Chain A
Amino acid sequence: MITFRILKNELLRLARDRVLMVLSVLVLILLTVSVLTGHQFVKQLSVAQTEAEHIARLQWEQQGAKNPHSAAHYGTFAFKPVSLLMVFEPGITRYTGVSLFLEGHRQNAASFSLAEDQEASLRFAELKPAFIFTYLFPLLIIFAGFRMISSEKESGMYRFLIAQGVTRKQMLAGKALALWLLVLALFLPFFVLGLLVAGLVAAPSIELLRYILISVVWLVYFGIIVNLTIGTSALVKHSNMAMVGLLAFWITIALVVPKVTSNIAANRYPVPSTTEFYQAVRDDLLEGVDGHNPFSEHSVAFRDSVLAAYGVEIVDDLPFNFRGMMLQEAEEFEKRIYDLHLSRIEEIHARQMGAFSVGTLFSPALAMRLSAMHFAGTDRHAFNRFTAQAESYRIDLMRVLNNDLRDNAVGDQAVGYVAHERFFSENPMFVYQRAQKIQIPSEVRRFILVLSGWLLLSAGYMGFASAKEEAA
């Protein structure tokens, strides 16, 4: 009952704080604008990607009659799918390429990231809910709560309340609840708006679940800030100290630690340059069948093994086109080499993420963003899922092309064989399969665990602050 009264009183005080109300309305306006414009942007992006997919497929189908291996060099494109939840948490999507060129013999990296075309100032800030929640919301919470208890001490009201029989715990609980209600009063309208604008009600239920999970992650982050704000306000003697301490904390967790972590991760576990990478791949490729050089040592050995298996002397006596078979053999070998080198890069990335895990121990903001972007489908796992599916499609397509050459370029068709245009229309099509359930890789589990740890720790800190007060 006493807690409720304190809560009521505190809410009245918050409602009478004009500056706070203006700031709250501003934050709500920014959130609304960010959701509306973000949704429009994602819609345009999605339409463009779908259109590009359609055109690329038509171009593939209408490339005209040609040798299937010429078609393999001609190649096609896979376009990065757009996640609906990018409206809320764009994650790394700005920095990953939008189109992936799929061709014979090599695995390309996705090219043309949004960041390349956007102006440099976007690196200051991008008005998205994720940005507002990471940077501005904590400031608002700090602003609303830094003097909730310290000002009671400064005005002498604190002693008066204690003398009236109010316990410190009740006081802290009432104030913390008031701060929570302020957070929810701002967050819930946003939540409903996001639900409606992004069409999540009608979207597949997994999207809604993802949205709820992102929201939970955000709320946990706000909870940490609320706990730390109230705890600090109870511990200090002057409001000034609470404010300076909390601001320094905010700067550290939101700005400094993420940047320092990035630099440490990238410097401690450096990735090779593109030139070095391709040189290493090229060196390894010399150790296997070269589809374009029938005279290489490995190509000759492969040819001899095939001739021996079929008991013939020359390739012309084989019941199929040997070149088609050799190209497929080379393709599979090249894939193994690329997979090997790319897996080494992935290992480096995973180690870098290990450094990020350490960073999250010093920054709940970092833990929050890395967790939220996973649920939004805008993290590196979502991107890797796309590239892995595109690669799997590429190798399937190459197999179809090489098999066609192997099976049909025989007899009088052997020289100058061209596949009919219809053949390319019948080739498999790339369709990105979205994840049907939410998987949480161990890397992300660590971020979530650390974030939960921060929540517990901050609650402990608030408890400690009230106990210390009690003892005093």
Chain B
Amino acid sequence: MIRHVFRFEWLHLMRSRAFQLIAFVLPVTMFVSLYLGQQRVSTQLDTITELAASERAFYLEQAERQRLIEQGELEVSAWFQDPGNPLVLAQFNDAGRFVILHPRPLAALAVGQSDIFPYYGKVTLTNRVAMRDNALKNPVTYLSGSLDFAFVLIWLIPLFVIALGYDVRSREKESGTYVMLESQPVSVTRIMACKFAFRYSLLLLMALSSLALFSVILQIPLASHNGLIVVLYITGYMAFWFLLSVVVTMFSNRSAMNAISLVGLWVLFILIIPALITLYAGYKHPLPSRSLWVTELRAIEQEVNARRGELFDAWKGDHPEEYVAGETPGFYQTWMQRLVSNTYIHSQTRDADERFQVAVQRQHQAIHSLRLLSPPMILSHRLQVLAGTDRDRLGKLDEKMYDFQREWQDFFLPRFQQLNFFTSEEIQFIPVPERIR
């Protein structure tokens, strides 16, 4: 019986315009989305390679200049040109290190928040600057979002499922063949189950084989543990929409009503529930104002700077061994004072930042706990986590930059405090941030 139903369904679908359209649109949108994703990742990788090269070139140049100075072949006229000076190596011009969030292997699958959040930043002794490549982008291009694989899977595939499932039972009723099926020795329920199973399997097969083929062509490493999870997500998500179709078609004999109900459910899960959840979270836990936060940081800076001399004297009293008394070059006093006040500013602004983030997290937590109401929202989040483009991961850049800045300061500050300049040999061994995947 199953063989008969499958064969009939196959013949039926092959002649169906809707199916022909889906068989064309599904692979095309999948390929385009994966291709765009892969392009995005490869642009990021190119940028990372360029950053590493420019960083390497800077330090090689400093080491070479220092070597020439040591050999008496070069003289520098100003202190800020001396490559052995810790400030020249840790603070000025191109000095400093890039802290980079490397794209994860499956980054091509979901843009997530990667178009908004920076994935690299520069760390020097006093600064942590996240590089916002989006700053120059046309904001209109954000409005409709990106055509990524996550969009195809979460938004479009359910519509294909609906297009294949909305009239499985009602069509038989409308065309009068349902009565004929009832007169068969096999139960109609079994026939309907077979029809749904066939359509589900066919669409799943099309989606998975397209994904497999394109990931091979575009070299997206899907043959991995995470790749298997993606396959499970696709299988489960499509099953969810097919089951919805089954339920809806059980209650109505009119194809048009089924289609409307199913599209209504699609609108509910994909548009209305997420909109209501974010509305509720925004209302219940409003975000503090960034503009006021900016002025709060400014107030901290202003206050510390006003007490700069006093704070520096206190610091000297507490750290007599970390300070060269007596005759020192002109820049030493100025920069020691600046670095000390910077430490105060950083510790206090970090507190203010943490307070801000706590408020942001409260809103996000409210959304996370309500996300369970919408399978598309859950899947969207899970895909972003797999792709490493979720907010939590990208938001870690600042934390990683902070950690590395501590390491950078621990390395350079004692040398500067003691005016212990670097040799050409030592320049080659300055710290490098750990590779973040």
Contact = CB atoms under 8 A, between A and B. Distances in A.
A185 interface: no
B381 A124 contact: no
A48 B289 CA distance: 6
Contacts of A164: none
Contacts of B141: 262, 265-266, 352
B290 A124 contact: no
B299 A59 contact: yes
Interface stretch (B214-222, B268-276, B339-347, B415-423): B268-276
Nearest to A275: B131
A353 B140 contact: yes
Nearest to B290: A112
B131 A266 contact: no
B82 interface: no
A259 B289 contact: no
A240 B255 contact: yes
A19 to B, nearest CB: 8
B139 interface: yes
A92 B142 contact: yes
B260 A352 contact: no
A420 B46 CA distance: 51
Q: Per DSSP, are chain A's interface residues mostly helix, strand or loop, or mixed?
A: helix
Contacts of B302: 59, 62-63
A117 B360 contact: yes
A316 B295 CA distance: 40
Contacts of A136: 267, 271-272
B147 A52 contact: no
A349 interface: yes
A420 B100 CA distance: 44
A348 B137 CA distance: 9
B147 A260 contact: yes
Contacts of A267: 36, 39
Interface in B115-156: 116-117, 131-133, 135-147, 151, 155-156
Contact of B147 (A77, A135, A263, A273): A263
B259 interface: yes
B335 to A, nearest CB: 16
Interface residues of B, number: 76
Q: Among A53, A97, A114, A121, which residue has the most Cβ atoms of chain B within 10 A? A: A121
Contacts of B295: 52, 55-56, 59, 77
Interface in A1-60: 30, 33-34, 37, 40-41, 44-45, 48-49, 51-53, 55-56, 59
Interface string A105-135: 0000101111111111111111100010001
B291 A52 contact: yes
Contacts of B287: 114, 117-118
A210 interface: no
Interface in B100-122: 112-113, 116-117
A120 B299 CA distance: 31
B372 to A, nearest CB: 12
> Which one of A40, A274, A366 has the highest number of Cβ atoms from chain B below 10 Å of its Cβ?
A274
Contact of B116 (A34, A64, A113, A370): A113
Given A48-B291, A352-B141, A124 B279 contact: no
Given A79-B291, A255-B155, A369-B143, A247 B263 contact: yes
Contacts of A356: 140
B298 A48 contact: no
B38 interface: no
B276 A277 contact: no
B131 A380 contact: no
B173 interface: no
A262 B377 contact: no
A119 B284 CA distance: 14
A258 B144 contact: yes
B136 A277 contact: yes
Contacts of B147: 259-260, 262-263
Given A259-B151, A262-B143, A271-B137, A124 B274 contact: yes
A239 interface: yes
Given A77-B295, A121-B367, A244-B163, A139 B276 contact: no
A151 to B, nearest CB: 9
A408 interface: no
A271 B259 contact: no
A386 interface: no
A48 to B, nearest CB: 3
A352 B138 contact: yes
Contact of A119 (B263, B272, B278, B286): B278
B131 A274 contact: yes
B278 A121 contact: yes
Contacts of A122: 274, 278
Contacts of A33: 279
For B272, B363, B390, the residue with the greatest tally of chain A CB atoms inside 10 Å of its CB is B272
Contacts of B282: 37, 41, 118
Contacts of A67: none
A195 interface: no
A116 B116 CA distance: 7
Contacts of B256: 146-147, 239-240, 243
A379 B143 CA distance: 10
Contacts of B117: 116
B143 A124 contact: no
Contacts of A348: 138
A136 B267 CA distance: 8
B283 interface: yes
A109 B131 CA distance: 12
Contacts of B271: 124-125, 131, 135-136
A262 B145 contact: yes
B184 to A, nearest CB: 25
Interface of B: 18, 36, 39, 47, 50-51, 112-113, 116-117, 131-133, 135-147, 151, 155-156, 159, 163, 167, 255-256, 259-260, 263, 267, 270-272, 274-279, 281-283, 286-287, 289-295, 298-299, 302, 306, 360, 363-364, 367-368, 371, 376-377, 380-381, 384, 390-391
Given A109-B136, A262-B147, A352-B141, 5 more contacts: A98-B290, A124-B275, A127-B278, A272-B136, A353-B138
Q: What 10 pairs between A and B have smallest CB-CB spacing?
A: A48-B289, A52-B291, A258-B144, A124-B274, A109-B135, A125-B275, A127-B275, A92-B139, A112-B290, A55-B295
17 contacts: A40-B283, A62-B302, A91-B143, A111-B135, A113-B116, A118-B363, A119-B367, A119-B391, A120-B384, A120-B391, A136-B267, A143-B260, A260-B147, A265-B138, A265-B140, A273-B136, A369-B143
